[in-house]
Amino acid sequence: MIRLSSFAILFACVCLAGLPIAAAQEDPAVPEGRIETWTGKTVLVFTPHPDDDTFLCGGIMSILAANGNKVIVVIYTNDNKGSLDLDMTRERLARIRRAEEEKACEILGIPKENIIWLGYEDGDLEYANPRVLRGEACRLMKKYQPDAVFTIDPGTTHERWHKTDHRMAAFITKDAFIASEWHLYYPQHLLDEGLKPYHVPLAFYYYTEEPNYTVDITEIAETKVKASAAHVSQFEPSLSKYTPDMADETFEGIRQWALGLMKDGERYVERFRREEWP
Ligand SMILES: [Zn+2]
C-alpha cells in the first residue's frame, strides 16, 4: 500500500515498497533473443490480482502483443475485498475489478478472451487447497505451452517475502513448473484432456529484489500509464467512495506516480529476474 500525499493516491492492492531502483547485475546473455523482439510466441502472465500484471508487466505485455505474440493473463483472485467504501459489496467489487482489468488489457492490446479468471476470493489464496491450485496453474501450462511465464518472484536461495495472495501466487506458480513436466503429478490432465507434460523453458519474475533483465518501455510508457489508470477503484478517491469517473487531476497524479516507478535516467523501464528453467 502506497500513499502519495501530493495527489492523495492510495493503493488497495499493490505493495511496491522495496522495488529495486537499479539493476543488480548485467542482463544475461539470451541466446534465443531478447523477449522484446519475439514474434509468434505464447506468454502466460500469472498475477494474484487484476492490477499487479498491469503495474509490473504492462509495458512488456503491450510490446509482446504488438509484436504478434499471444499474451494470456491468468488471474488467481477476483480482488473483491480491497475497498474502503462502506457501501461496497464483494460481488459488486468483483464486477468492477473485472471490468477494469479488461479495460487495462484492452489498452495494452490484449483481448478479454485472453484473460483467465481462476476466481479465488481476495486475500484467501493461502487458504485454498494448494494441490488443487497448483494443478490449475499446471494445467494451463500444459494447455498453452508458453515460451515464457511471467510471475511473482519466489526468491532464489532465500524466500522473497510478499503479502498474502502474492506469496501464494509466487510459490504455487513456480511449483507448477515442476508439476507440469512430470505427468504423474496430475495424470488426469493427460487421461481426461490429452494434455501432455510441458517444460516451461523460461520465467520472468516481477516484484523481484534480484533483477537481471531490463526492458526499455519508453515508447509505450504513456500506454502503460493509461492502462494503470484504468484500475480506477484501486486509487483514491474511488477507493474510499467508488465512482467510475476519474478527474484530470487524479489521472495526472497516477501518471506521475507510474512514470516515476518506470524512470531510469532518460528512459522508462521494467525490470525482472530472468531465469531459464533447465
Ligand atoms: Zn496484488
Confidence category of residue 7, pLDDT binned at 50, 70, 90: very low
CA of 167 to the centre of ligand 1 (A): 10
What DSSP string describes 243-263?
Answer: -S---HHHHHHHHHHHHHHHE
Prediction pTM value: 0.91
* Number of independent structural domains in the chain: 1
What domain range includes position 50?
A: 38-233+256-276
Answer positive or negative: Cα dihedral of 120, 159, 224, 252: positive
Q: What is the Å distance from ligand 1's center to 196 Cα?
A: 31
79: CATH = 3.40.50.10320
pLDDT value at 22 more than 60: no
Quick one: cell of 234?
484501486
User: Does the residue 245 lie in any domain?
Assistant: no
Give the pLDDT confidence score for residue 27 in this predicted structure: 65
pLDDT, one tens digit per residue, over 60-79 is 999 999 999 999 999 999 99
* CA 31 – ligand 1 centroid, Å: 32
Q: Report CA(91)–ligand 1 centroid distance (Å).
A: 18
The answer to whether 152 and 165 have CB atoms below 8 angstroms apart is no
C-alpha cell at 59: 509495458
In a domain, 209, yes or no: yes
- DSSP conformation class of 175: H
Is the pLDDT at 113 greater than 50? The verdict is: yes
Ligand 1 centroid vs 187 CA: distance in angstroms?
Answer: 31
Query: pLDDT-based confidence at 4, cuts 50/70/90?
Result: very low
Contact 271, 242 (CB under 8 A): no
At a CB cut-off of 8 Å and minimum separation 6, what does 222 contact?
none
- The rounded distance, in Å, linking the Cα atoms of 183 and 198 is 9
